[in-house]
Every structure is written in C-alpha cells, then in structure tokens.
Structure 1
Amino acid sequence: MSKEKQTEDVETLKSMTVKLELGNMKLKATKAEAIKTLIAYFEREAAIKSILEKTTPFKG
C-alpha cells in the first residue's frame, strides 16, 4: 500500500471517528433529555397518587 493511500485511509478513519463521536454526543443528549422527562413523569404520578390517597376515604 502506498504512503499516499495510507494517509488517505487515516484521514478517512479520522473523519468517520469525528462523525461517530458527534452521533454519540447527540445520543447522550437525547438520553439525558429522556431521563429528565421520565423523572418528571414519575414525580408527577407520585404527587397525583399522594393527593388521591389523601382525598379518597379509606374503604376497608
């Protein structure tokens, strides 16, 4: 393999690595946003459950 071809291959790999890293960063940001959304959802559900337990007479 010629030196020129090796250099070209290395540059291609560097470019692909940068693209993969950017994609990974986007996925991490999406994951973080999804986690925040789920936490907010579960906190809201817990608050609703707490309110319902306080306002609903116990039957037993």
Structure 2
Amino acid sequence: MAVAPITGMLRRTLILDLGIALGLGFVFGNAYWYGYHVPRTNMRDNFYKKLEEDRIAKRGA
C-alpha cells in the first residue's frame, strides 16, 4: 500500500469540533448573560424601584 490508511481521523475531528463549539458557546453565552443581560435587568429594576418610590413619596407626602 502506497498510502497508510487514515484511522480515527473522523472521530478526532468530531470530538475537536464539538469541544470547540461547546466551549465557545459557553463562553459567549456567559459574556452575553453577565455582560449585557444582567446589567440591563438591574438598570430596569432600579428604574422601576425609583419610579415606585417617587410615586409613594408624592402620594404619601
């Protein structure tokens, strides 16, 4: 045989591709969640909390 058979190439490639895809998905998912979603949610909650406090202060005073 002039060329040696390729063994395990598909398995190694599949494991590598899945590992990279899952790793990058996890990294970018966390970046979105903690870099965008959580701060925006906190800003929204703080806005409505302040709005409610102002409404109570105007009504109660």
The answer, yes or no, to whether TM exceeds 0.5 is yes
1:46: which partner in 2?
Answer: 49
Q: Distance in 1 between matches of 2:18 and 2:60?
A: 62
Q: CA RMSD in A?
A: 1.9
- How many pairs align? 56
Q: Could you give the per-residue CA deviations for residues 2-31 of structure 1, whole angstroms, max 9, x where no partner exists?
A: x83224422331122112111111111121
- Aligned with residue 23 of structure 1, among 22, 25, 44: 25
1:11 maps to which residue?
13
Unaligned runs of 5+ in 2: none
Q: Report the residue type matching 1:28 in the other structure.
A: N
Give me the TM-score of the superposition, normalised by structure 2. Answer: 0.71
Shift >3 Å, 4+ stretches? none
Structure 1: state its 5+ residue gaps: none
